[in-house]
Every structure is written in structure tokens, then in C-alpha cells.
Structure 1
């Protein structure tokens, strides 16, 4: 894996998250907060989980203390959307500036439950993008269940077709 691959993956993540944020801007507060059975109980909770995970990984990458936003963040729908775009942009900037020679270097970190791990950056970068992709798929289903039909594709092929 090369740095170019991860720069492309981070660009895809930002592109797809921006599309989803556009959908979220179109739903009302009832849809945003409606209880829907999934990994998390609403669109809001699912979005906050993705933001929290991206933010936590960025903090780990920068060797900063991790603040798990899912347990503390109380912003509006608009605040969530703004924060998600900012976090995804910051992740892309971090990966863009990352030293390619460090991709195989392990990052020592602790999970939220305190368990210690050590994994190479390239695996963690892949995980962060894959994690967001998983939950974007859930959001498509949740949005449809909440009555929003304006969803479209966020598949990686969409980025490749634009090139």
C-alpha cells in the first residue's frame, strides 16, 4: 500500500461523507431523531458515532488524549453536519501530510475500554475509511425508513468515474 492509495481513500471518505451530509441537510428534526432499529437507534446517533470514531482516530494519530464525543456531544443537526465535514477534512489533511515511510510503523493506542493495541498506520487508515463506509450504508437504509427517498450512491466507483 502506498501513501497515494490512502490519500485517495481519505478523499473518497470526504467525498462520500459530504454527499451524506447533503442528504442530512434535507431531513427534518423528527426524521433526524426518529427511533430506527439499527446498530444505533437513530440517524443522529449513527452520525454521531461516525464523527466520534473519526475524531478519536485523529486524536490517536496525533498522540492526543481521546475525547469520545458520542458520550458528551449535544449539538444540533446542523452542528453535527458541520463537525462531520470538518473531521473528515482534517482526516484527509492528516493523511495527505503523513510520511509514507511511516505507513508500516505501529501506533500504540488504547481502545475506549482500556485494552492496549499496536497496529501499523496503514491498517488503521484503512479501518477508519471502511468503518465510515459501513455506517454510511446503514444511514442510507435508515434515511429511507425515515421517509427520505433522495439518497444516491456513495460507492467508490463514483470517485473513480470523476477522474
Structure 2
């Protein structure tokens, strides 16, 4: 990893996640007349299906991470609806979805900011819904959470494009700090 360390990478990804989710929410708010529930052939059929999948997955992963010694900061996630499956529609409309999405993004940023390198390198154990137990490295699992968001937001931006909507630039590089070159 770079001299900045893995925590800096996770912090960048947490900010990127918030920035991109904000862009999605803004685009949807600016086009309330669009049918984001229409089956457009996406993996989760519609924009709305994909957005709900993302919030469901975040809730599942963050609830699992509450069992890590650093997980006390994630306890607010336990107050959110409990998904039964990855395709659950927890929020039926924009108004009910936007606040929990923003809260989860803030929670992820605060959580990553609270971690030290030892936390990031440590493990946690969780059980899947089917009863399988797994032990994973916390930092690598957080990488998965952010990568999962990026993957499905890419699908969402494709659906937006098919709807004639442009979300704009989505490159994480825009959030990479500019440095002064060394002489």
C-alpha cells in the first residue's frame, strides 16, 4: 500500500461512496417525474431495485461488523429495518430512502475514521442467513462493501443513461487530494 496506509484508502472510499450516493439522490430529486421503478432489464430490474439492494447489503454487512470490538459505532444500523433477503424493498419511495441512505454513508465515514491500523488488520466472525460462519479481515471486508456499492452504482448509472439522464463524472480520482510536487 502507499505510505498513506490502508486506512487512508478506506477513508477515500467512504467519502467516494457518500459523494456518489449523493449524486444519485440529487439526480433522482431533480427528475421526480421519471419512473425509477420501471423494469429496465437491470440486475435488480429497476433503479429502485438496485438502490434497495445496496442499502440492504450495507445494513447486513454493518450489522455483522457490530460484533467487532470497534463495532460499537455501528450500533445505529440495528435500528434500521431488518432485511430478509438481498432483493428486499425496504423503502418504497425517495422520501423514505434518502435519509437512511445519507445516515449510512455518514456512519461509514465515522466508522472508518474511528479505526486504527490494528482494527483494520483484525478479524471478525459472522454468520450468514444460511448459518454458515465466516471469519474475515475487517479492512478487506470494508473494501468489499465499497466495491459492491461501486459495482451496482455502475449498473444504476447505465440505467440512468438509458433513461436519458446524465449523472456526470463518477471517477474516484476527483477526490484524490492534489499534492504539490517535490522539487
TM range (shorter): 0.7 to 0.9
Distance of aligned partners of 1:74 and 1:6 in 2 relative to their CA distance in 1, 3 Å threshold: closer
| Counterparts of 1:52 and 1:95, CA distance in 2 | 19
- Counterpart in the other structure of 1:91: 108
- Counterpart in the other structure of 1:117: 134
The answer to whether the 8 A contact 1:108-1:118 is kept is: yes
| Counterparts of 1:129 and 1:71, CA distance in 2 | 20
Higher helix share: 1
- Counterpart in the other structure of 1:150: 166
The answer to whether structure 1 residue 27 and structure 2 residue 44 are counterparts is no
Picking from 89, 102, 126, the partner of 2:143 is: 126
List alignment gaps of at least 5 residues for structure 1: none
Picking from 78, 82, 94, the partner of 1:67 is: 82
* Aligned residue pairs, count: 162
Picking from 6, 24, 27, the partner of 2:10 is: 6
The answer to whether the 8 A contact 2:16-2:175 is kept is: yes
The answer to whether structure 1 residue 159 and structure 2 residue 163 are counterparts is no
TM-score for both structures, normalised by structure 1: 0.87
The answer to whether the 8 A contact 1:27-1:148 is kept is: no
Matches within 5 A, 1:38-53: 38-53=42-57
The answer to whether the 8 A contact 1:54-1:91 is kept is: no
Deviations 1:86-127 (A, max 9, x none): 111111111111232121211111223332211101110100
Give the superposition deviation at 1:29: 5.7
Aligned-partner SS, 2:30: coil
TM-score for both structures, normalised by structure 2: 0.78
**Where does structure 1 differ by over 6 angstroms across 4 or more consecutive aligned residues?**
none
Which one is further off, 119-128 or 2-11?
A: 2-11
Distance of aligned partners of 1:52 and 1:29 in 2 relative to their CA distance in 1, 3 Å threshold: farther
Which one is further off, 15-24 or 122-131?
A: 15-24
| Counterparts of 1:20 and 1:158, CA distance in 2 | 17
Q: Which has the higher contact order (CA 8 A, sep 6+)?
A: 1
| Counterparts of 1:148 and 1:115, CA distance in 2 | 43
* Bigger radius of gyration among the two: 2
